Amino acid sequence: MRGILWNAALLLLVVPALAAAQAYYPDAQWQTRRPEQVGMSAAKLQEAIEFAKSRESKASRDLEYAHYSSFGREPFGHAIGPFKERGPQTGIIVRNGYIVAEWGEVDRVDMTFSVTKSFVSTVVGLAYDRGLIRDLNEPVYLSQAPIFPAERFTTDAERNYGPLGANRPIDLFATEHNRHITWDHLLRQTSDWEGTLWGKPEWADRPSGPAATWATRPRNTPGSTYEYNDTRVNVLALAATNVWRRPLPDVLREYVMDPISASRTWRWYGYDNSWVVLDGSLVQAVSGGGHWGGGMFISARDQARFGLLTLRNGKWKDRQILSEEWLKLARTPTPAQPDYGFMNFFLNTGRKRYPAAPEQAFAHLGNGTNLIYVDPVNDLVVVARWIENGAVPEFIARVLSALETT
């Protein structure tokens, strides 16, 4: 009996130690492991890396030029935020929390385009966890105070006595249609919000159908139709700024990026004209992507830290940064688009996006392509930047083929 009790006591000591070893979280200095130390084939992993490097995006590294070759050709497509030249095809592979492979320029700060949307939903999640947003199914307008553009206070006095309406606030939810839009609708990109923000009409972003119908088509009931649309993402970012009553980059830095030991080099930008007056201070409302410039500028290593946070259900060491409830909601399929959760959680529903990956895997995705692949089943985070979008499924398959089964 004494032997049984001793073995049981020993097991109680060993199991927590094993659990702690499995739940490694990096400090500022991120530990590395050889592939074979975390159950991966070094040879197959190198093959996956060489494949990724051979599939670098063919778009110009001058991202402003690339913009005017693509989205800049849309109506109102002119840039209103900053761009910068990008680096080479770059990536990181993290297993069990440890870095097992890196290539390219992993500390280089580059645009991450729509991966920014995952940071937008994160600051909304932080507000929800703190009770600043009571109910995701509540109409957003109920929580909004008047928003005045900074131009109202910074132009000369003669202009301030200008035409009727010049002194009125930005009202994001003034129309009957928009008053029915909830936080959940905005998070899932199913709001069909109507209007113009920062000089960008929602209909001008990725317009489809005959041009004569772009601004006049009937509205869809909020929640019924999915449409990927950056103007509406910017609506969510501004609404969240209004709730927080402080700049969203400050919120993200204090509650997420500093606690996960991210670098001091990331920056989150808005547009030249997205300044508002908030409690007597000028604040730049940030954008939810780089569609017209701006958005999150960040390194691959900091992307990987964020991916690891979402892999671990919002926990970092002994601190719950984002609630498990929020991450579960973020990974819940959207009825109108089952492979999408909250922005920008792209799901592997039915294993359609990444056939070789588990259905539980998801990704934070942005133009470029910028990829943060998150795989809870295999305790794996993969960052790939500036890789051809069509090559991503095969790249993921090659990384997964490096996992050694026992």
Phi, psi angles (nearest 5°) of residue 276: -130, 165
171: closest CA among 239, 229, 113, 230?
A: 239
Residues 78 and 134 reside in one and the same domain: no
Phi-psi region of 34 (alpha: psi -120 to 50; beta: other; left: phi over 0): beta
Domain assignment present for residue 12? The answer is no
Task: Count the domains in the chain.
Answer: 2
CATH code of 378's domain = 3.40.710
Q: Which residues contact 383 (CB under 8 A, 6 or more apart)?
A: 90, 91, 92, 93, 94, 300, 303, 304, 307, 371, 372, 373
Q: Can you say whether the dihedral through the CA atoms of 291, 294, 296, 301 is positive or negative?
A: positive
321 contacts 315 by C-beta, under 8 angstroms = yes
- 102 with 126, same domain: the answer is no
The reply to whether 180 and 320 lie within a common domain is no
Both 155 and 257 in one domain: the answer is yes
- Containing structural domain, residue 177: 117-286
193 and 207 belong to one structural domain: yes
**What percent of the chain lies above the pLDDT cut of 70?**
91
Show the tokens assigned to 389: 């979008």
Q: What pLDDT digit, counting tens, does each position of 45-69 carry?
A: 999 999 999 999 999 999 999 999 9
Model confidence over 228-241: pLDDT tens digits? 999 999 999 999 99
> Which of 40-49, 67-76, 86-95, 393-402 is the least confident region?
67-76
Q: Look at residue 332 and tell me if it is in a domain.
A: yes
The model carries a pTM of 0.92
Residues 138 and 281 both lie in one domain: yes
Residues 253 and 135 in one domain: yes
pLDDT tens for 157-214 read 445 555 656 678 999 999 999 999 999 999 999 999 999 999 999 999 999 889 998 8
Pair (136, 278) in one structural domain:
yes
265-276 tens-digit pLDDT? 999 999 999 999
Nearest CA among 227, 225, 223 for reference residue 204 = 227
pLDDT of 9 over the 60 cut: no
